[in-house]
């Protein structure tokens, strides 16, 4: 049986139930993370909370963990902390996004369905460095 974070779920049902979905996802199971940083290892964990306000479906995602990367300066291992939280509005199509305030991020949920893993992956792509490097070059071996 697959984990709840990997299943395609109905957005309205999640919002109506004010569902909380806890997750612990190996970075190796997130294809877009692997495409950005091949070989990224580690685990991200947290909770995705769904709710609805005035007909708008909201997902709040909190992530934490660490990624084992390779420093591109010295090719030695590098531990990168994973921390983040985001609040997004889930929309089925572009016209639904028209009613969302401009300062709120939207995420496309085709056919009103989404995977928690997709929301987590989105947050991690904003958190992980494009080019992993030790912060201090003196730490390079």
Instruction: Please state, rounded to an integer, the average pLDDT across all residues of the chain.
Output: 90
Q: Write out pLDDT tens, residues 12-70.
A: 999 999 999 999 999 999 999 999 888 899 999 999 999 998 788 999 999 999 999 99
The predicted model gives 96-125 an average pLDDT of 87
57, containing H or E segment? strand 56-70
pLDDT of 88 reads: 92
Query: Taking CA 73 as the corner, what is the angle to CA 69 and CA 79, rounded to the nearest 5 degrees?
Result: 25
pLDDT band at 1 (very low <50, low <70, confident <90, very high): low
CA distance linking residue 135 with residue 132, whole number of Å: 9
User: How far is CA 38 from each of CA 61, 62, 104, 107, rounded to the nearest angstrom?
Assistant: 24, 24, 31, 25
The predicted model gives 115-127 an average pLDDT of 93
Assign 5 to helix, strand or coil.
helix
Query: Taking CA 133 as the corner, what is the angle to CA 31 and CA 128, rounded to the nearest 5 degrees?
Result: 35
Count CA atoms within 13 Å of residue 57 on its CB side: 23
pLDDT of 94 reads: 77
pLDDT of 119 reads: 95
- The torsion defined by the Cα of 20, 21, 22 and 26, in degrees rounded to 10, comes to -150
116, containing H or E segment? helix 116-127
Which pTM was predicted? 0.88
CA distance linking residue 47 with residue 132, whole number of Å: 26
Q: Write out pLDDT tens, residues 58-108.
A: 999 999 999 999 999 999 999 999 999 999 999 887 777 777 777 778 888
């Amino acid at each position: 049986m697959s984990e709840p974070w990997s299943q395609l779920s109905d957005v309205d049902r999640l919002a109506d139930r004010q569902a909380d979905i806890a997750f612990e996802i190996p970075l190796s199971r997130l294809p877009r993370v692997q495409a950005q940083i091949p070989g990224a290892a580690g685990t991200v964990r947290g909770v995705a909370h769904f709710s609805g306000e005035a007909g708008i479906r909201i997902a709040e995602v909190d992530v934490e963990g660490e990624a084992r990367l390779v420093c591109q300066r010295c090719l030695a291992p590098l531990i990168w902390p994973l921390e983040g939280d985001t609040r997004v509005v889930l929309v089925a199509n572009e016209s639904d996004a028209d009613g969302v305030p401009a300062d709120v991020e939207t995420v496309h949920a085709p056919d009103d369905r989404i995977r928690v893993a997709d929301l987590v992956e989105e947050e991690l792509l904003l958190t992980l460095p494009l080019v992993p490097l030790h912060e201090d070059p003196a730490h390079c071996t």
